Structure 1
């Protein structure tokens, strides 16, 4: 199972949206405090809709607590400061993919220890970053694609029309 890690997320609607994406993708969500909101906040629940109770979510008091409770985790750091693209790595099926807070990203004092597993989403140079929820969806679904979408429904079904017509 893939793992999404949010380091000090600030905007409840982003975290709610990411929670919903994690439920749809079968991923776990890890939240590293301090959070910019309360877990029970209305905006968080609204963005996660009725999926929040289905979410496998764990909260940690800080990054050191996260590391202590997930020993040996292979952590990819999604950051605009990385040299490798997210498509340049092969994500393990139990990888941890960490994203930083909306206003500042992942602190450089953490990134220096993860130079080899830091990844970026390419974009025009004059753009600071993408929305956090969009970034998570892009990288998470690439990791799922690389692992052949384990356990996910890959084909839909039209009720009124047949594809075989």
Structure 2
């Protein structure tokens, strides 16, 4: 199974959509506080529909707590500024796909932490700034899961 890690997510529907994604792929979703919304937010609940009870979601008070729960593992930090493409990695069960907040992405100092295995990007047209967080997560997660033959518990 793969683990998704959102660092300080800000937009409830992105997290709600990712809850649904996690439930449908057998993945885990880990969130690092502070969150830009309350878990009771109607937009979060609407985007996740009835998948909240089917998904593994864990909220961590800080990044150190998340590392404690997730490591050891390969941690792939996603950034539009990374040189390596997300398809260039041989993903393994337990890998962590790590994404930053919608407004700014992962801070550079976080991307350079020793826990990070590699920095990856999803290609975009020149001049494009970013892809929606939930969409980028789905692109990366489905590539990782595809490489594992869509085995149960993506």
By the TM > 0.5 criterion, same fold?
yes
Unaligned runs of 5+ in 2: none
Q: Do residues 75 (structure 1) and 75 (structure 2) align?
A: yes
- CA shift for structure 1 position 68: 2.0
The equivalent of 1:20 in structure 2 is 20
Distance 1:110 1:36 in 2: 19
Query: SS of 1:58's equivalent?
Result: strand
The equivalent of 1:147 in structure 2 is 148
Query: SS of 2:20's equivalent?
Result: helix
Distance 2:143 2:70 in 1: 23
Unaligned runs of 5+ in 1: 153-165
Where do 1:51-90 residues align within 5 Å? 51-90=51-90
Structure of greater Rg: 1
Query: SS of 1:92's equivalent?
Result: coil
- CA shift for structure 1 position 116: 5.0
The equivalent of 1:158 in structure 2 is none
TM-score (norm 2): 0.94
Measured against aligned partners, the alpha-carbon deviations of 1:2-35 in whole angstroms (never above 9, x if no partner) come to 1111110000011000110111111000001110
The equivalent of 1:129 in structure 2 is 130
Distance 2:54 2:117 in 1: 33
**More off after superposition, 110-119 vs 9-18:** 110-119
Give the count of matched residue pairs: 152
Q: Which has the higher contact order (CA 8 A, sep 6+)?
A: 2
Q: Do residues 9 (structure 1) and 20 (structure 2) align?
A: no
Note closer, same or farther for the CA distance 1:116–1:70 as it changes in structure 2 (3 Å cut).
closer
- CA shift for structure 1 position 94: 1.2
Deviation above 3 Å: which 4+ runs of structure 1?
none
Distance 1:71 1:77 in 2: 14
